[in-house]
């Protein structure tokens, strides 16, 4: 698999504030990357750079194109949902379909109609009369009907209730994703997407603090429910993070063999959320 994204030394500054600080990463096709970071960490700036919506310093290639200079070319292969409710409020559902069909060479009306049939959205309604959840369904139907190579989702489910969020990701995974496509997602609700991710990037203060595949993470990060008698031994091994659950210490380790940890207590895979908290604390300290 070849890389579809290659970023080297990306920098972006707003006045004194460094939104991107020497960011480098690569991404192969057929992956689902979760881009996680606190507010103001640079997620949106990074996505905007990828989409050619903002200038940056450094080297960035997507499908061999410079997103800032060759944006028009790039947008034939890349789709994005910036966040909910960016569909124009005045447009009718049928007009939105006609529009995308008219401007996008890779759009399939049949596919879009198929997705919409699973919803209660009427063709002659205007976007402003749809509920927030329906607007997202419509947007997703329009975007999923485009045969794009890279899909970028920035907080796609913000403000939606749990039912919509679940079906959103299910549909994305079951109906859309395949080996030829790549998806980048940012979200606050990490726990809802961690089972679909193949790669993970944590970003804080404009810097990448973790960039690994989920498989590699599962091999190198372990969480141990430490038995009372081993507490001191465990702390001596310098866990990344310690939290308490029902009076029992839960330690997060990286780079220590699983067998060794099993002697301390029950070992399990850390959740992305726990890993995130540990990493963020670690960077802040």
Partner 1 sequence: MKTFLTLLKREYWENKTGLQWVPLIIGGIAVFGVFLGVFVFSTSNVQINGVGSHDLTSLFKLYDVSVDPRAKAIGVQMGMYSGIFSFGFVLAIVGFFYCLGALYDDRKDRSILFWKSMPISDTMTVVSKVVTVILLAPLFFWVILQVTTLAIMILATIFAWVSDASAWSNIWQPSNLFVIAFYQLQAFYVATLWAAPIVGYLLLVSSWTKKVPFLVATVPVVLVIIAESIVTNTAHVASYIGERFVMIWAAYITPVANIAGDFSDVIESDAADFIEEDWIPLSFSKHLMDMDLWLGIVVGAAFVVGAIMIRRYRDEAL
**Of 178, 210, 203, 212, whose CA–CA distance to 50 is shortest?**
203
**Is residue 137 a contact point for partner 1 (CB under 8 A)?**
no
Whichever of 5 and 153 has its CB closer to partner 1, that residue is 153
**Is residue 88 a contact point for partner 1 (CB under 8 A)?**
yes
Whichever of 48 and 249 has its CB closer to partner 1, that residue is 48
| Rounded-to-integer distance, Cα 204 and Cα 19, Å | 9
Whichever of 35 and 272 has its CB closer to partner 1, that residue is 35
**Rounded to the nearest 10 degrees, how much is the dihedral formed by the CA atoms of 43, 60, 81, 144?**
-140
**Is residue 103 a contact point for partner 1 (CB under 8 A)?**
yes
Following DSSP, what letter does each residue of 51-120 receive, concatenated?
A: TTSS--EEEEEETTB-TTTSHHHHTTTEEEE-STT-S-TT-BHHHHHHHHHHH-TTB-HHHHHHHHHTS-
**Of 188, 192, 184, whose CA–CA distance to 162 is shortest?**
192
Stretch that binds partner 1, among 72-80, 196-204, 225-233, 268-276 (CB under 8 A): 72-80
What token pair was written down for 221?
């990060």
Among positions 1, 8, 17, 55, the unique one binding partner 1 when judged by CB under 8 A = 55
| Rounded-to-integer distance, Cα 81 and Cα 156, Å | 6
Q: Which of residues 178-237 bind partner 1 (CB under 8 A)?
A: none
Q: State in angstroms the smallest separation of the CB of 79 from partner 1.
A: 6
- Residues contacting partner 1: total by CB under 8 A: 32
Stretch that binds partner 1, among 70-78, 179-187, 188-196, 233-241 (CB under 8 A): 70-78
Positions that interact with partner 1 (CB under 8 A)? 48, 51, 53-55, 71-72, 75-76, 79-83, 85-92, 95, 98-100, 102-105, 139, 143
């Amino acid at each position: 698999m070849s890389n579809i994204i290659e970023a080297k030394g990306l920098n972006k500054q707003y006045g004194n504030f460094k939104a991107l600080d020497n960011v480098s990463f690569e991404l192969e096709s057929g992956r689902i990357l979760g881009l996680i970071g606190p507010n103001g960490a640079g997620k949106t700036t990074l996505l905007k750079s990828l989409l050619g919506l903002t200038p940056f310093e450094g080297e960035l290639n997507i499908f061999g194109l410079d997103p800032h200079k060759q944006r028009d070319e790039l947008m034939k292969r890349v789709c994005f949902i910036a966040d909910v409710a960016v569909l124009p409020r005045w447009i009718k559902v049928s007009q939105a379909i006609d529009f995308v069909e008219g401007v996008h060479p890779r759009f399939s009306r049949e596919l879009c109609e198929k997705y919409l049939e699973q919803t209660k959205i009427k063709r002659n309604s205007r976007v402003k009369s749809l509920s927030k959840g329906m607007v997202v369904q419509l947007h997703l139907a329009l975007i999923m009907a485009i045969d794009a190579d890279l899909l970028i989702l920035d907080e796609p489910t913000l403000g939606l209730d749990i039912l919509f969020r679940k079906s959103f990701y299910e549909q994305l995974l079951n109906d859309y994703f395949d080996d030829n496509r790549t998806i980048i997602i940012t979200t606050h609700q990490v726990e809802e997407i961690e089972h679909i991710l193949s790669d993970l990037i944590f970003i804080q203060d404009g810097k990448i603090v973790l960039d690994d595949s989920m498989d590699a993470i599962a091999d190198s990060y372990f969480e141990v429910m430490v038995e009372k008698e081993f507490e001191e031994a465990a702390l001596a091994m310098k866990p990344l993070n310690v939290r308490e659950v029902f009076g029992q210490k839960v330690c997060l380790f990286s780079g220590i063999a699983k067998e060794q940890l099993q002697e301390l207590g029950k070992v399990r895979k850390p959740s992305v959320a726990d890993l995130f908290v540990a990493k963020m604390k670690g960077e802040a300290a």
